[in-house]
């Protein structure tokens, strides 16, 4: 095992249902909403440097929209009627949650800032429609660097298989 990799078994992940957006806890959320390349499990696992990828759940973030920064999406505040589809995962099961957060910040770079948000989990069963507090990387770079467009996960995965990004 590579010493930089953090052991993590996704089946040990706590349920997102324990994360109540109405709670008054001062602790930060360990649920992350991702909307671009990190929706790809192998990319997420590589960025986190874990042995196994965390469990991803489909989710929606309302009040935001996407523009493109090259081939990568940039999340920007928008009208309440706008939504961004993505995935959520929880890192509280990781022994080194702070180190995982730092790796996410390094992956995203200086044009993105970690912000708190509330997302709707679109999973199955009792997870369906659950509102959870999450953290998301919002674009803080210059808007002049962005262009209209959408992020296509399948296209990203194909480019990755072909060796282009």
pLDDT tens digits for range 14-46 = 455 445 544 433 356 789 999 999 999 999 999
Non-local CB neighbours of 93 within 8 Å, separated by 6+ positions: 8, 12, 13, 14, 54
Quote the pLDDT of residue 27. 53
Distance, in Å, from the CA atom of 13 to the CA atom of 92, rounded to the nearest integer, reads 8
| More confident: 63 or 10 | 63
Q: Which residue in the block uniquely carries the two structure tokens 């298989």?
A: 161
Sign (positive or negative) of CA dihedral 62, 130, 23, 18: negative
For helices 97-108 and 41-48, what crossing angle results, to 10°?
110
- CATH of the domain spanning 27-161: 3.10.490.10
Give the model confidence (pLDDT) of 64-98 as tens digits.
999 999 989 999 999 999 999 999 998 865 557 88
3-class DSSP state of 39:
helix
Q: Which two tokens stand for residue 83?
A: 């939504």
Asked if the model's pLDDT at residue 59 lies above 90, the reply is: yes
CB environment 77-107: b (16+ within 10 A), e (fewer):
eeeeeeebebbbbbbebbebeeebbebbeeb
In the chain, what are the helix, strand and coil shares in percent, each to the nearest 5? 25, 30, 40
Q: Which run of H or of E encompasses 139?
A: strand 131-139
Domain boundaries, the chain: 27-161
Q: Which two tokens stand for residue 25?
A: 């806890």
């Amino acid at each position: 095992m590579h010493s930089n990799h953090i052991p993590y078994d996704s089946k040990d992940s706590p349920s997102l249902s324990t994360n109540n957006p109405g709670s008054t806890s001062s602790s930060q959320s360990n649920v992350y909403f991702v909307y671009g390349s990190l929706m790809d499990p192998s990319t997420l696992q590589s960025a986190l440097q874990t042995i196994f990828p965390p469990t991803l759940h489909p989710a929606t973030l309302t009040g935001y929209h996407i523009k493109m920064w090259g081939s990568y999406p940039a999340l920007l505040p928008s009208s309440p009627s706008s939504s961004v589809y993505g995935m959520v995962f929880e890192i509280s099961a990781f022994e080194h949650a702070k180190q995982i957060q730092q790796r996410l910040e390094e992956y995203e770079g200086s044009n993105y800032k970690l912000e708190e948000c509330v997302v709707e989990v679109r999973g199955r069963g009792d997870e369906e429609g659950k509102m959870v507090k999450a953290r998301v990387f919002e674009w803080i770079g210059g808007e002049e660097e962005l262009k209209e467009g959408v992020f296509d996960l399948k296209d990203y995965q194909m480019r990755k298989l072909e060796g282009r990004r």
